[in-house]
Structure 1
Amino acid sequence: MYPIGQFSKKTGVSIRTLRYYDEMNLLKPSYISETGRRFYENEDIITLQKITELKTLGFSLKDIQQLMRQSQWDITESLEYQKEKLLHKLVDIKKNIELLEYTISLAQSNQVIEPEIFIALIQNNLHMESQQRWLKGYFPNEIVDEIYAVSNSHNVRYDAQLIKIINQLKIAYKNQFTDTEVHTILKEFFSLLPLELFNRLLTEPKLMEIQVDRMLFSSPFSKQEEEWLIEKLEYMLKEYKTK
């Protein structure tokens, strides 16, 4: 027999994990002394290997618990289910790698980025599909599709320009730039969109009325900055419409 410490070293499984498996009735010690010391036998190594292998296949401990109670396994359906779960994880991993590559490129193109700006851009990239669905409840589908065709996911050049403009607007708020100076920065922002698309947006009556979902659309601006920016934007749009 092996005391729990020796069994842990032999199997490479921590004492804490072995105690947890005991609590879950996944792997009970073969013998417990009067003083509460746990002892294991060679057969317990085989049981532990089964648990480890099932975990490798993606089974949860609760699933393993149920399987270990069965004398016979009709496991094909369970394996197919685990395969699908792992394939979904693989898709997520690939997306995360693409996002990491994008963020590395974005960081390289902007040596200094305020954390709130960087985080907002990443979060908005993660929620792009949900954002598009949400916006289509307010604007025509073709306008939303055109907007996201310009600011598509992982477009480093576009987002690098956007970071520059956001930084300029934050500086403008802090230093109380004149309306003319702020409008110049806002024009640069709108220049990121094709002129025809920009003009179509101006004719949308809901443009300034929309209340964005904060869970979907992350803002790099503080509440005070947003209120100031909306005021400047409304004034600028009125000027455009009267021309």
Structure 2
Amino acid sequence: MTKYWTIKEFSKITGVTVRTLQYYDDENILNPHHKSEAGYRFYSSEDLQIIQRISVLKYVGFNLKQIKSILEDNQLDWLSSLNLQARIIQDNIVKLNQSLVLIKEAVNLYSKNNEIEWQSIAKILEVFKMTHSNIVKEWAERNFSVDEVNFFAEMNFQERKIEKEKLWIELFAEAKSLMSKDPASQEVQSLAKRWIDSAGTQYANKPELGTKMWELMKSGDIPAGLIPGYEQDIVLFMNQAIGIMFSNKQ
């Protein structure tokens, strides 16, 4: 007899959150084997193999748009795709190894002189910045046009940038504290309105760019540290809440 798992059981087996599985279903990345008349999702052993492939591809650096194409296209040149990803990873390994060398140098100098060598620390920071900057640059070029990248650059030089970052840290923290509640609850709906208002202010001149950024945030394709407080599960939770908010207005 074929074994099927509910979405909660499948989440425990795979380590992928329920909200992420729901998102994969909505985006047709991984649909459950079938749904009951009541709408409950049920997953099979074949789905387990697919989620394992998704997890591996995500781990080595493919974004969900690429993963969806890979899963849909059986004729895709896997070797070329994996070799390309290997080169990107190798480039990052080289940069991280450079950082490791500088850290060891700083530790060695501290052990000898019993004081911090600030010049060495400065070199380490420069390498860290360069590494992260290159990762963000590759991500931006992959997802945005030149005009959109320039718009983000202008945002970073605007006054009150720190205040905006603080606002989003607070919004993400509040959302995380409410994730055990019903997205339709008054408390979460109040946060959803403030979330939309804040995003609307930030992307007032380019609402379509805000939408594109939101899709990337939902997919999890965001470089580490780019958005203060960001977690994919929080975004998926708020996406549910915002969807409920808009449906109630209709």
TM-score where L is the length of structure 1: 0.43
The structure with the larger Rg is 1
